[in-house]
């Protein structure tokens, strides 16, 4: 996913499973409204859920098959996107997040 940019709300995370190992995709905060510096990868602090619990739930939805997964940490919702990075964008669009790029 290194050449694919995906903009998501701060409570969504993209993970990739490869050969049974889970990788949290790097994120960059575009807008910070909090008066203090917060680690946005601290799931327990922000959303009351551990990384281990997220991995367990993701495994449950697709048996840990390789590919990209999307997590709504706020609502504790988990999605399998597919094996290609661009499928994350497709899943987000199906959830009403984002927009198609304009054709110029």
The tens digit of pLDDT for each residue in 25-60 reads: 887 766 666 667 777 788 898 899 998 999 999 999
**Domain boundaries defined on the chain:** 12-94
pLDDT, position 6: 74
Q: What is the pLDDT of residues 80-93, one digit of tens each?
A: 999 998 899 899 99
pLDDT band at 102 (very low <50, low <70, confident <90, very high): low
Kindly list the distances between the CA atom of residue 26 and the CA atoms of 16, 19, 71, 98, 102, in Å, as whole numbers in the listed order. 11, 19, 14, 19, 26
């Amino acid at each position: 996913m290194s050449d694919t940019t995906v903009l998501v709300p701060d409570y969504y995370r993209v993970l990739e499973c490869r050969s049974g190992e889970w990788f949290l995709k790097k994120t960059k905060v575009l807008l910070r409204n909090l008066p203090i510096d917060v680690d946005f990868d601290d799931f327990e602090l922000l959303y009351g859920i551990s990384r281990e619990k997220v991995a367990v739930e993701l495994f449950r939805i697709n048996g840990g098959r390789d590919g990209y997964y999307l997590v709504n940490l706020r609502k504790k919702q988990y999605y399998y996107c597919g094996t290609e990075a661009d499928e994350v964008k497709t899943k987000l669009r199906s959830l009403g997040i984002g927009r198609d790029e304009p054709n110029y």
